[in-house]
Chains A and B, each alone.
Chain A
Amino acid sequence: MKRTLSVLVALIMLLTLTPAFAAQEEINIFMWSDYISDDLIANFEDEYGVRVNLSYMSDNADSITKLTAGAGSEYDLIMTCDAYMESLIAGGYLEQLDLSQIPNSENINRAYWSEQNQGYCVPYLMNYIYVVYDTERCPIEITCYNDLIRPEMKGQIGSVDGARNLFPIALIALGYDPNSRNENEIKEAYEWLVKYNENVVAYGSTETNMVSGTISCMFTYDGNTAEAMAQLGENNTLTVAPFTSDPVQLGFDLYVIPKGAQHIDLAYKFLNYICDPEVMAANLVDNPYSCPNDAAVAAASEEYRNGPAFNFDYKTNIFFQEDVGDAITIYDQYYQMLKVG
């Protein structure tokens, strides 16, 4: 009797479950964690009657590993960054996009979205890597990268790490292409960075070190600056360095559709949804980063638009991190030398 009952219950459960599964479509997205608002995901699920499965990466390399191993069977959208686009397109790892399926993509500023990339990705959020200093504690006013290696700056600087973040500013300071593949130029940049390294107190944790008074100047992301400024609150004396001519690095996090994705229709719907000005403006409340969607920025809160971390006048004097091909081994070698001392 008991057994019959349990079998019956199991059958009923199965029967009620199956139609629910059949009716609800799913979309699988691989991206950074804490990087999209939960409300946005919930609203998208309600509006389209679908389920969104999010999985998270812990390193930029994760998404590259997935894409190059053929991620289409697993994911419908993958987040990666602009620096890898050239090789990903060349390798044929991405589905080509039909922008007529993403009408809201009109809102994205084309200055941030190259013609080549328009065929394969949709930019999501972006980050500047620039110089910020404390107007009260920093010994000098910083207006160019060369100011960072002046002897007065010894023991004052906190910095982001990584060869492909550090070498470009040295190359620019020396008047070269920030994505140079020339070994002699990279070597000179290394020598510049040795002087920079002497002034640096620590790599990483820039906002913590700024708030605790350990450093008075930082070469860091705009998002971290916003955090530091928010923590300092009324005591904030930080300012984005008034650069006069040196360009700053701008990086993107963007969505691509892996080759052979199972739910391309849904992927288009999702991409169109996040390009909607109101949707993105609401998302910026939880994720106050720089945004390439002009209409969304216009619709965003006063607080976001006037945020002191994003308030500088050289926003379009930028350079991008490009694929440097095999020269990456030269960078790695000099970076290693720099760090080993």
Chain B
Amino acid sequence: MNGASTAKKRHNRLPAIAQAGPVSLWMILFVTIPMLFIIFISFMTRGSFGGVEYTPTLTSYETLADVIYLNVILKSLRVALVTTVVCLLLGYPFAYYIARKPADVASRLIMLLMIPLWTNSLMRLNAWMLLFQTNGPVNKALLGLGFVEKPVTFLYTDGLVLLGLITNFLPFAVLPMYSSIEKLQTAMLEASADLGAKPSVTFFRVTLPLTFPGIFSAIILTFIPALGTYTITDMLGGGKVLYIGNIIKNQFGTIRNWPLGAALSVLLLLVTALLIFVYSRFAKIEDMEVL
């Protein structure tokens, strides 16, 4: 009995290695090792010309506990949260609308959603800046139509940063929710209606719980990148207000404090891990809709 099971195991090993091997190797080389390296240098000393001196220290983590970093982290969390909520509120009805269309129309709508992503994100950001600058088309239109008397300052305000974040991440919120809603069987909704539920009750007690994996994927796909982004906040915010992504970028750039940058990155990793953990408490990871 024992011998037979061992033989069976041995028999299964080769195909398993052949199937999972390349992916595992890829993940180890390009995800695990770099990540371990980041964790490693976060415990080292900063070099005077950038780089790292290999003397172990906890300085970076002590610096992180400083109240100013705590404020940045809170501020970044708040912006990421607002972005995510707006993306969900706008994205869910939109995804629902697409999912209820016939397949050919739906695929065309999805295509429309994707088209902006074909251009470089820096081009899109520059486009926003050109549109909203003081002597740009938006201000000219507002002045021409007599809505305002002097140009409105849009550029480098929190509002424009938020607009940039939302437009950038909306497709990532819509796609997983669309995929979840599409799987929803009409029979379920009909059954709910037959049993006397009003449409609002059906929505909150049937549709919403069944599409939850898509919603949570949307949260993860918008919240985490929004938390770490720096180009959008840098360009549209004018480098005046810094979020955690900008601080990390500065540590590796102008300030040249790599260990602190690494420690901040580790912090971001922990926030990400926490989110995935929370998700795993509510639902199975396998159900997560990631396109």
Contact = CB atoms under 8 A, between A and B. Distances in A.
A336 B66 CA distance: 11
B7 to A, nearest CB: 52
A: contact size bracket: 20 to 34
Contacts of B155: 201-202, 209, 214
Interface string A150-173: 000001000001110000000000
A32 B49 CA distance: 19
A231 interface: no
Contacts of A203: 238-240
B255 interface: yes
A34 interface: no
B136 interface: yes
A64 interface: yes
B241 A341 contact: yes
B253 interface: yes
Nearest to A202: B238
Given A161-B254, A214-B133, A340-B71, A202 B153 contact: no
Interface in A192-242: 197, 200-205, 209, 212-214
A65 interface: yes
B247 interface: yes
Interface in B226-260: 238-242, 247, 250, 253-257
A65 B255 contact: no
Contacts of A87: 48
A265 B155 CA distance: 53
B253 to A, nearest CB: 7
A182 interface: no
Interface in A44-67: 59, 61, 64-65
A68 interface: yes
A339 interface: yes
Most buried by A among B151, B247, B250: B250
A204 B236 CA distance: 11
Nearest to A203: B239
Contacts of B135: 212-213
B156 to A, nearest CB: 5
Contacts, number: 70
Contact of B134 (A197, A212, A337, A339): A212
B: contact size bracket: 20 to 34
A155 B242 contact: no
Given A212-B135, A214-B134, A340-B68, A162 B254 contact: yes
A184 to B, nearest CB: 19
B151 to A, nearest CB: 7
A294 interface: no
Contacts of A130: none
A319 to B, nearest CB: 20
A41 B101 CA distance: 63
Contacts of A205: 238
Given A201-B156, A203-B238, A213-B133, A336 B151 contact: no
A65 B71 contact: no
Interface in A269-324: none
A161 B239 contact: yes
B255 A335 contact: yes
A202 B253 CA distance: 19
Contacts of B241: 341
B21 interface: no
B197 to A, nearest CB: 50
B134 A202 contact: no
B211 to A, nearest CB: 39
B132 to A, nearest CB: 10
Given A201-B153, A332-B255, 9 more contacts: A201-B155, A201-B240, A202-B156, A209-B155, A212-B133, A212-B135, A339-B247, A340-B72, A340-B242
27 contacts: A61-B49, A61-B256, A64-B50, A65-B50, A65-B51, A87-B48, A161-B254, A201-B155, A201-B156, A201-B240, A202-B155, A202-B156, A202-B240, A203-B238, A203-B239, A203-B240, A204-B238, A209-B155, A212-B135, A212-B136, A213-B135, A214-B155, A332-B257, A339-B242, A339-B247, A340-B68, A340-B71
